[in-house]
Structure 1
């Protein structure tokens, strides 16, 4: 009997990326005025020290902290918060994604591949055609609702979500189709408007539908958000649609998040994800309440009622996913038991660290 060994890691690739990034950042800082601009925006660097850690250790992009800091705390336009989310995550989340891939952490590859294809189609459609239709106020409310519902879900389902082991795979093509639909919808309706969201949507599908372990679901969400953010940066650069102020805030925050997000990936494996998720969930609920309070005059009673209704609608969708997941897992287990009784190997697997989901540099 052969002993299984840990997959080979390629951390030198991540260190190479860091070297190239910091060299490029230092070159940019030599341009007249950039050092001063970075110094003037030091509060964003401080905020993203926490934000980037949360980005690597939870299914939340760094923009999930950057957006409310700019929009709620500094009273900047919501469009600036959205564009900054793209910019800062294209460094922090990409750095964390490279770190995850180099360490060969387990990922839900079939659903991830489908969501990447969906994001490739949906992100430009959303940025160019859908996002311009959304008023500033409702960009704030959309962000608050998405992450407020995420927070409430975890406050009352954290025990169940954190208790999953491995991951139930139903069918590779089914996973791919579900990932594609979620990636397409989330990139058009959420990412293009707020700069974040596809990570939360894919994460919710993995933990509620597939009963995925947090050690699989969170790294998968980090990778999809990193790729989508980088793609969004390309689209906004080609279309010259950046909001004023994004670059200066990026100069201050980029060197922090390049290390902060991977640090979150590394540390969370040693202290556990449940405490961090609970803290982040409370913050998500807090920012929803803050948004409704700060914008109560603009929203009015009807607007606040709509925001509350939208949050409840999101929770209802989460519960539908969970119930659907219960039926799928039950049917899969019955099918597997029937095949085992017939002497045939089951086609539905519960992955662990040695299963198919543990090969992030290979194919399914």
Structure 2
């Protein structure tokens, strides 16, 4: 490096060009590998950086990682496409493409985003349908939860099949809360809200979270975990409550349970985005399934328009969402967070431009954003305090364990007679044991 610098100072143009060419090539490769191909975090990892823990039991466990990824994409796609094309051909339903094809184009991009981030396909479909295509929020909501019930279920299969690490306790208790919340929201909350309130409330809440996450990630070296530290009863209750709130958001916008759990995991429990993202994908798939079943099997209220939109997006999302899940598991957590910033900011700007604004609606949206940002910030600060206590307890436990080990070693040494301790055979045996 010194020689290159000296050559550059001497004006040696050939050496200078060679140096910068090598630096740009290696630097760009390193940057791409770090942020866009970091590697999957396998199920069973405990601490950050422990990415090689895999479960070798079960069917198809002998597949290589590359083959497992390919099979994880093909199995759900083959399953959904077999039934889709069979039904479409038997009932001759291809006429829906004549007027609904713009949604197919939209979800080529939206399904990949749904699989690789925590915002879900509904975060793309809902604002596009309500803001751009001028569809009622009810139709957009039913389409969002039905396409997520198909596409994100396919992505969830790929996540489990590739053995990507997820926070299973968070998934279980959040799912219990979101299942109750989405039914409560459909029957009680949704009828009380007007369409503009639903549109602006959706984008305002999610933008506030994105802004909070952006400020938090300004410190790129912040401590993160791969699992919730010291899970106990009140943390389980907190997961249930946030799942319930997210279920209510899902009931009028088709998405929300994923963002609520994602915010709790990243802001409060300090779980890495690399773990929170696939966990939120699986949660949103299951919550959407509950919402879809309730609208179709229990109340029978899903409109025909939503069914027609669903028919044109199913073949897209059942391929795009698993593909997005595969891509997202390799991205660095900061890249995943950046996708959340960009998407929610675009949704907010579009909503203010397209939705007819009134002073009450503008004031309510701004007030909601400020209030949610304060709530997210408080959650983050409380999480900081809890994390500091956890780190202090961990350090103290390690020091106590080390002191016990040292005292045990000293007692062992003191129990050995002096003439034995000075024996060369004894010294050689202890050195051998220590090397072991």
Q: TM-score range by the shorter chain?
A: 0.7 to 0.9
Residue in 2 that maps onto 1:205: 264
Q: Structure 1 residues 261 and 162 mapped into 2: Cα distance closer, same or farther (>3 Å)?
A: farther
Contact 1:55–1:261, Cα closer than 8 Å, also in 2: yes
Residue in 1 that maps onto 2:400: 342
Q: Structure 1 residues 326 and 271 mapped into 2: Cα distance closer, same or farther (>3 Å)?
A: closer
Contact 1:49–1:257, Cα closer than 8 Å, also in 2: yes
Q: Distance in 2 between matches of 1:108 and 1:5?
A: 15
> What is the deviation of 1:6?
2.8
Residue in 2 that maps onto 1:97: 156
Indicate which of 55, 67, 71 corresponds to 1:7.
Answer: 55
> What is the deviation of 1:324?
0.6
Q: Structure 1 residues 29 and 203 mapped into 2: Cα distance closer, same or farther (>3 Å)?
A: same
Residue in 2 that maps onto 1:180: 240
Alignment partner of 2:225: what SS?
A: coil
Residue in 2 that maps onto 1:355: none
Larger Rg: 2
CA deviation map 1:116-167 (0-9, x unaligned): 1112222211112221221111111121112222332344333447855433
Indicate which of 37, 58, 73 corresponds to 2:96.
Answer: 37
Q: Structure 1 residues 279 and 59 mapped into 2: Cα distance closer, same or farther (>3 Å)?
A: closer
Q: Structure 1 residues 46 and 150 mapped into 2: Cα distance closer, same or farther (>3 Å)?
A: farther
Contact 2:209–2:376, Cα closer than 8 Å, also in 1: no
Q: CA RMSD in A?
A: 2.3
Residue in 2 that maps onto 1:52: 111
> What is the deviation of 1:294?
2.4
Q: Distance in 1 between matches of 2:213 and 2:103?
A: 27
Alignment partner of 1:302: what SS?
A: helix
Contact 1:158–1:278, Cα closer than 8 Å, also in 2: no
Deviates more, 1:334-343 or 1:88-97: 334-343
**Larger RCO, structures 1/2 (Cα 8 Å, 6+ apart):** 1
TM-score (norm 1): 0.86
Residue in 1 that maps onto 2:280: 221
After superposition, residues 309-348 of structure 1 pair within 5 angstroms as 309-343=367-401
- 1:281 correspondence with 2:329: no
> What is the deviation of 1:43?
1.1
Contact 1:57–1:273, Cα closer than 8 Å, also in 2: no
Q: Distance in 1 between matches of 2:376 and 2:384?
A: 12
Q: Distance in 2 between matches of 1:173 and 1:113?
A: 13
CA deviation map 1:8-64 (0-9, x unaligned): 476567644432211211122125551120343221111111111111111111010
Q: Structure 1 residues 133 and 313 mapped into 2: Cα distance closer, same or farther (>3 Å)?
A: same
Residue in 1 that maps onto 2:319: 259
Q: Structure 1 residues 344 and 30 mapped into 2: Cα distance closer, same or farther (>3 Å)?
A: farther
Residue in 2 that maps onto 1:80: 139
Q: Distance in 2 between matches of 1:328 and 1:288?
A: 32
Q: Structure 1 residues 291 and 300 mapped into 2: Cα distance closer, same or farther (>3 Å)?
A: same
After superposition, residues 230-269 of structure 1 pair within 5 angstroms as 230-238=289-297, 239-269=299-329
Structure 1 spans left out of the alignment, 5+ residues: 346-364
Q: Distance in 1 between matches of 2:142 and 2:78?
A: 25
Contact 2:207–2:369, Cα closer than 8 Å, also in 1: yes
Q: Distance in 2 between matches of 1:164 and 1:225?
A: 26
Contact 2:73–2:319, Cα closer than 8 Å, also in 1: no
CA deviation map 1:293-350 (0-9, x unaligned): 3234xx41222011011011111111011001001001111222222233299xxxxx
Alignment partner of 1:211: what SS?
A: coil
Contact 1:199–1:224, Cα closer than 8 Å, also in 2: yes
CA deviation map 1:222-258 (0-9, x unaligned): 0100000011110000211113411111111111111
TM-score (norm 2): 0.73
Aligned residue pairs: how many? 339
Indicate which of 169, 183, 187 corresponds to 1:128.
Answer: 187
Residue in 2 that maps onto 1:116: 175
